[in-house]
Amino acid sequence: MKKTLFTILGVIFLLFLAWFAFVYFVPYSEGTRSGELIKFSRKGVISKTWEGEISQGISGAQIFQFSVLDKDQKVIQDLKDNEGNYVKLTYKERYATFFFWGDTKYFITHVEEAVSPHFRNR
C-alpha cells in the first residue's frame, strides 16, 4: 500500500517537474513590441512580481501587458529608467505562467529606448 502511494506521488511530482521545465524552456513565441511605457510596478500579496504596460496607440486603446522575472535585474532597472518614454521591448511568450512568475504569459528579456513614430517626421 505504501509503495503504491509513493509511486503515485513520485509520478505526479515528475509530471509537475516536466510541465514546469516545458513552460520555462519552450517559448510559444518570441518578438518585439514598441510603445510608451505607462506603468511598471512590483505587486502581489503572497508573491511579489514585476508587471508593466505599454501603450501602443495614440489614445491608449491598445495596451500590451507584460511581466518581468526577478532574475532579470538589468531589464527591471531599464524599465524603471524609461517610464514615460517610448521603448522597444523584446519578449518571450510562454504557454502558461505560475503565480510566482507574473500575471501574464509575456516576459520581457530586453529593453531599448526607441523614437516614437509620432515625432519621427517632425
Instruction: Please report the pLDDT score of residue 100 as a whole number.
Output: 87
Task: Give the pLDDT score at 117.
Answer: 74
What is the extent of the structural domain holding 74? Answer: 27-120
Residue 59 within a domain: yes
- Contact in structure between 106 and 67 (CB atoms under 8 Å): yes
Note the pTM of the prediction, 2 decimals: 0.81
Q: Per-residue pLDDT tens for 36-74?
A: 999 999 998 888 999 999 998 766 678 999 999 999 999
CATH of the domain at 42: 2.40.50.140
Give the chain's domain count.
1
Nearest to 92 by CA among 71, 112, 75, 108: 108
Is 15 inside a domain boundary?
no
In a domain, 3, yes or no: no
Average pLDDT (20-37) is 91
The predicted structure's pLDDT at residue 121? 55
Catalogue the long-range contacts made by 74-81 (C-beta closer than 8 Å, 24 or more residues apart).
Answer: 75/108, 75/109, 75/110, 75/111, 76/50, 78/111, 79/37, 79/40, 79/50, 79/52, 79/108, 79/111, 80/40
Share of the chain above pLDDT 70, in %: 93
57 within some domain = yes
Residue 83 lies in a domain: yes
Is residue 120 pLDDT above 70, yes or no? no
